[in-house]
Amino acid sequence: MPSYNDYLHESSKLLYEYSPNFQISIDLIQKLAQHLKLDTFVDSEVQDPDTNQLVKRLSIAGSLLLVDIDFKDPHTVTKVSLASGNHSTSAVNTASSQSELNSVISTTKIDNTTIVRVNFLEENVLSFLNIRNADEKSVAEIILKENLKGSKLGNFPLNLRYLANLDRLSPQEGDLVLYLDNIAKYLEVIHIQECKLTPEDENIKSGQSSLIGKLMYNDEEANELGVFLHFWKSYNKTNKLPQVDYFKPQSFVGRLSVIESNAPAKDYLRESTKALWEPKDANGNFLEYKITFDDEKHLPKGVPVSGPNTRNWQLQFSFNRPVYLPKEVLEFLGFDDFEVAEDHELKDIFEAIEQFKVVDLTLDSHPNVAFQLNHSSFSSFIPVSAVTLPSLNSISKLLPPLRNSIVYSTWLTSLVLQTQCQISDAYSTEAKKQRDTRPELTEDELLGINSMAENNTYVGVQILDSNTNTDLEDFLKQEDEDENMDKDNGESKAVTPVEQGPFMELCFDDVDFTTKELEFQFVVDGKTQSGKPIQKNFSLQNGQTVGTGLADDLPSVNFVKALSLGEDLLLALDVVN
């Protein structure tokens, strides 16, 4: 049964999910801040040094952070300032701070394992709080100001909650903001090592196929504060795509957040030094890396972030877009604490898949083609919006199947977002209706079948009795006679076969849990409108489409290539046609 804290957390979550729709007002922002247990103060006569005008200033303060918001009237914000007691306000050069020279103390190799020591010197800390843009302006302050630019609160309440959690859950004399900065540096070092191993691989540099994606300080596109990992971009392989809504490229990023927990806090950085990280070299071979550091250098001011006298907190990895993941994958990877999205554009198709396992799709855009999705092996998918991280290393385990799931969802999007798409149970189609409407056998016919079974003979086929010694030669002779009789009957009752029209069946065949990247395996079977057959086994490996199997005929190979480039089932089918 959910606890009181669970209900409180859910209520707070709903409040902040809806709060972007609230109108801006100084009173409402003050109440939201107080709800987050932050102190507030309103100064009604403050002179803005830039305009020399009197403004009303709302100050929101925690133990570590201070946010000042200037209003020229109760509903119009003119300026936002953000300060942290433990961060320098001077401009930070992102490029130099992220270089290996400033991030790594040493790199050594012991047997087959490469040991990398991270530099956590305080003067070398890069933070989402002190990042500056090209004009030397605070990116964090720009984002908060953009949140309050219109008539509604936008993402300001969510950003305020993000900051408040870091402030409120920090240990006494400690600083979880600085600790999160160190987590960001640690992950950046991992990405630097990958880029060194494969300097020509643009997918590694961009985070498209790297272990942990690519580190981002703040998401300026979404106007959100924090530490992010960019790990996928759809429709990124070709520019020659139709100009339709579902072809618009979408970026997928995960936000690292500190949230309250019922379980004791853990030192994520210390625990990560015990794990192996396995990047690939230029030949695709997995290597062994350990990313470590000296003593307690990762702890701001040497204050523990876990153990006695610390609050319960955990790291959450939340996605900017929900992703449908197979339930078995989440269970296998040990992600037992996750948040589920309520609404999703693919909700109808995945609900049908779970209910029927095999579904038919009818599209107005391709009225002559029969489409079918076969999920007999895997039918339960969960629209995940956030996961609680068991460890930092778990990010590298999650991203490959996450990328696979995004690509598969993109394929489905190309079908279900057509103008008219009807989804139905494959077993309730006309063929099943015909089976169901066949006349039942009469009582006399049933008695006749029973009589034939008792006599061990049925239309010339001998029934083997386990209690009778049957000579193999006699049985084979009987089989030959039966085969000849069947052949004669077949010739006398020859039926002209009905030619099957164009169709495509995509089978989600398996998830290979023995592979490091949990590849998704598929089988496509179909025929184009021009009559070309398509039959191919292929898989998704870390988001990349790879053709496998014996069928190397040109239409099948081209279908998989077109699907890999365009991420669109209809486009791939049309290309082959």
The pLDDT profile of the chain, 577 residues, written as one tens digit per residue, is 566 556 656 666 677 777 788 899 999 999 999 999 999 999 988 888 777 888 999 999 999 999 999 999 989 999 999 998 777 655 455 544 555 667 888 999 999 999 999 998 766 578 999 888 888 889 999 999 999 998 899 999 999 999 999 999 999 989 999 999 999 999 999 999 999 999 999 999 999 999 999 999 999 999 999 999 999 999 877 655 555 556 678 999 999 999 999 999 999 999 999 999 999 999 999 999 999 998 888 999 899 999 988 999 999 999 999 999 999 999 999 999 999 998 788 999 999 999 999 999 999 888 889 999 999 988 899 999 999 999 999 999 999 999 999 999 999 998 988 878 899 998 875 545 444 444 444 555 444 444 444 444 333 333 334 344 434 334 334 434 444 444 444 444 444 444 568 899 999 999 999 999 999 999 999 998 888 889 999 999 999 999 755 456 788 888 999 899 889 998 888 888 7
**Is residue 560 within 8 Å of 548, Cβ to Cβ?**
no
Q: How far from chain centre, in Å, is Cα 502? A: 33
Question: Which amino acid makes up residue 326?
Answer: P
Of the candidates 464, 318, 471, the residue with the CA atom closest to the CA atom of residue 395 = 318
The secondary structure of residue 508, as a DSSP letter, is E
Report how far residue 375's alpha carbon sits from residue 36's, in angstroms, rounded to the nearest whole number: 45
Within 246-326, where are the H helices?
268-272
The secondary element (H helix, E strand) that includes residue 56 is strand 54-61
Cα–Cα separations (whole angstroms), residue 41 to 44, 53, 237, 515, 552:
10, 20, 52, 56, 71
What residues contact residue 421 under an 8 Å CB cut-off, 6+ apart? 361, 362, 363, 364, 415
Question: What is the pTM for the complete model shown?
Answer: 0.84
For the chain, which residues make up each domain, given as ranges? 19-311, 345-381+390-438+496-577, 439-492
